[in-house]
Amino acid sequence: MTDLRINELRVDEADTEASNHSSEEENEDWIKPLIYQSQGAKEFAYCPYSKFRVGAALLAHDGTVFTGCNVENASYNLGLCAERTTIAKAVSEGYRRFKTIAIASDLEDQFISPCGGCRQFMREFGDQWSVYLSKPDGSYVEMTVGELLPVSFGPEDLKKKTMLTTQNGS
Ligand code: THU
């Protein structure tokens, strides 16, 4: 698999047109298909309430790709984001090591940015894998999960010493 940090673009570079990746650029053959798949997944979005379509494509460590979309519900708070749908699909099929996730929406002038809940959901599976925030024209910025969710709480923290373990000695 190609090194996924190649052609890295930090989000602080994203506001200059010259530094944005465009669909015409070379040397990004590995990311275009993933973004394309996230755009395809967006077509299946079930979002009758928000009318805001989101798709995601998740690349696992062995090259397997999972796709997903947002799935809303008449009981609004039960709706699922595309990222969480996708990660849950992968985990439920035995995958826990991820290289990257691409996210697509219909926002023309803005890279789709994952919500806080999805950032935490991603972080469960590490903070060093990459997230591609895209626009419908295929341009994107890349950030790590750790950059999207700095100073995060994760599964490792549950294993650390607590006041409770100090007091009872266990
Ligand atoms: N949504 C996602 O699926 N992913 C995001 O990163 C942002 C928001 C969905 C949730 C809801 O169905 C709709 O977009 C509007 O918030």
Domains contained in the chain, CATH given: 13-159 (3.40.140.10)
Phi, psi angle pair for 95, to nearest 5°: -100, 135
pLDDT of residue 3: 34
Cα(123) to ligand 1 centroid in Å equals 18
Choice from 42, 54, 135, 149 to test ligand 1 binding pocket (greatest atom count within 8 A of CB): 54
Beta bridge partner(s), residue 66? 58
Is 73 annotated for ligand binding?
A: yes
**Closest atom of ligand 1 relative to the 112 alpha carbon:** 6
Each residue of 116-132: pLDDT tens digit?
999 999 999 999 999 99
pTM to 2 decimals?
A: 0.84
41 in Cβ contact with 67 (< 8 Å): yes
Q: State how far the Cα of 25 lies from the Cα of 31, in Å rounded to an integer.
A: 11
Q: State how far the Cα of 9 lies from the Cα of 143, in Å rounded to an integer.
A: 7
pLDDT of residue 169: 56
Beta bridge partner(s), residue 132? 102, 142
pLDDT of residue 17: 35
Residue numbers of the chain with a pLDDT score lower than 50: 1-27
Task: Provide the token pair at 158.
Answer: 């549950």
pLDDT of residue 30: 78
Helix ranges (H only) for 103-144 are 116-123
Catalytic center residues: 83
Three-point CA angle 35, 37, 41, nearest 5°: 115
pLDDT of residue 91: 98
